[in-house]
Amino acid sequence: MKTRITELFGIEHPIIQGGMHYVGYAELASAVSNAGGLGLITALTQKTPALLAQEIARCREMTDKPFGVNLTFLPAVNAPDYPGYVKAIIEGGVKIVETAGNNPQKWLPTLKDAGIKVIHKCTSVRHALKAESIGCDAISVDGFECAGHPGEDDIPNFILLPRAAEELKIPFVASGGMADGRSLVAALALGAEGINMGTRFIATKEAPVHQNVKDTIVAASELDTRLIMRGLRNTERVLISHATERVMAKERELGSAITFADIAPELAGVYPRIMQQGDMEAGVWSCGMVAGLIRDVPSVQELITRIMAEAESIIASRLAGLLR
């Protein structure tokens, strides 16, 4: 399948693995790339630029296909060593970077001078247009269904994607609610050039997370996510759990007076215990509504092959058969 995204990134299938904290390691990124998609290493999971350089080198040993790095720019008092991470990306020969969080404009000249293509994650058309105007090569448009931070506009992909198609000149992929061939065909019909999957890729054999995490996703339904931190205007979609219920109770108790410090024990530093140790009550963790469409834990190759076969069948048989 040939789209502007496959052409831009030199990949076989228009499927991108989203950057995910304590999930986006070389094992998963290389598996996605080897299967014809675009795998991404999550930079900030690596505690230092030197460790990121090692992870890039490790991924390069596992695949000779294109892969990228996700680099999220956080509004932090003690910001990560972003110059060091950017240097590790460039020196590692990576040619694709997914940016997220704050505006990446400050870093674009350095990345572009190194011949790197930049795809920026956006949850609104206005932010996507800004990213286009500053020189990003592509956009990942995240609908309200997505795991993690869906923004504050609450616009689902059936509205957000065609609106993006009306406004953007650069290619974009659909993110949030993407799981199978139906997702891919729908995204293409709405104007996207491919899909970005996060939660679906966690439930694969190669995802380097505890089996408890994968089993929990498979057991979850589309009703099992909740939105937290709305009052802080830092909304996050997470899987329901006792930890999530504790956060929501604290939010109800404190109302508009709540601060991040009030709920930090359930959020700060919990991902290693959840993703690596399988302690599903260690704290809250991001999960998309798409969990309701995830019913197995295939290999990455099996998943991507299935998605493409299903998409081709829908296009060639079901949709073509509707025409008279």
| 187-198 pLDDT per residue, tens | 999 999 999 999
pLDDT of residue 74: 85
The pLDDT confidence band at residue 77, using thresholds 50, 70 and 90, is: low
Report d(CA 87, CA 188) in Å as an integer: 35
Same-domain check for residues 46 and 129: yes
**Residues 143, 174 contacting (CB under 8 angstroms):** yes
Does the pLDDT value for residue 324 go beyond 90? no
The pLDDT confidence band at residue 112, using thresholds 50, 70 and 90, is: very high
Cβ within 8 Å of residue 227, ≥6 positions away: 150, 235, 236, 237, 238
- What is the rounded average pLDDT for all residues in the chain? 96
Same-domain check for residues 172 and 247: no
Same-domain check for residues 25 and 50: yes
Pairing of strands 39-42, 225-228: unpaired
Same-domain check for residues 189 and 244: no
Same-domain check for residues 284 and 318: no
Same-domain check for residues 65 and 134: yes
Residue type, 221: S
Does the pLDDT value for residue 25 go beyond 80? yes
Q: How many residues does the chain have?
A: 324
CATH value at residue 160: 3.20.20.70
Same-domain check for residues 253 and 303: no
Which pTM does this prediction carry?
A: 0.96
Q: Which domain holds residue 218?
A: 212-289
Tokens representing 112 are 């572009």
pLDDT of residue 321: 84
Three-state SS for the chain is CCCHHHHHHCCCCCEEECCCCCCCCHHHHHHHHHCCCEEEEEHHHCCCHHHHHHHHHHHHHHCCCCEEEEEEECCCCCCCCHHHHHHHHHHCCCCEEEEEECCCHHHHHHHHHCCCEEEEEECCHHHHHHHHHCCCCEEEEECCCCCECCCCCCCCHHHHHHHHHHHCCCCEEEECCCCCHHHHHHHHHCCCCCEEECHHHHCCCCCCCCHHHHHHHHHCCCCCEEEECCCCCCCEEEECCHHHHHHHHHHHHHHHHCCHHHHHHHCCCCHHHHHHCCCCCCCCCECCHHHHHCCCCCCHHHHHHHHHHHHHHHHHHHHHHHCC
**Residues 142, 235 contacting (CB under 8 angstroms):** no
Tokens representing 242 are 């006792």
Total structural domains within the chain = 2
Same-domain check for residues 100 and 234: no
Same-domain check for residues 46 and 112: yes
For residue 41, count other CB atoms closer than 10 A to its CB. 28
Same-domain check for residues 18 and 165: yes
Tokens representing 311 are 């998409």
The pLDDT confidence band at residue 75, using thresholds 50, 70 and 90, is: confident
Considering the chain, what percentage of its residues have pLDDT values greater than 90? 96
Tokens representing 223 are 């009703």
Same-domain check for residues 176 and 223: no
Same-domain check for residues 253 and 309: no
Report d(CA 318, CA 37) in Å as an integer: 25
Contacts of the segment 267-272: beta carbons below 8 A, 24+ positions apart? 270/243, 271/21, 271/22, 272/22
Task: Encode pLDDT of 166-187 as tens digits.
Answer: 999 999 999 999 999 999 999 9
Report d(CA 313, CA 49) in Å as an integer: 44
Does the pLDDT value for residue 44 go beyond 80? yes
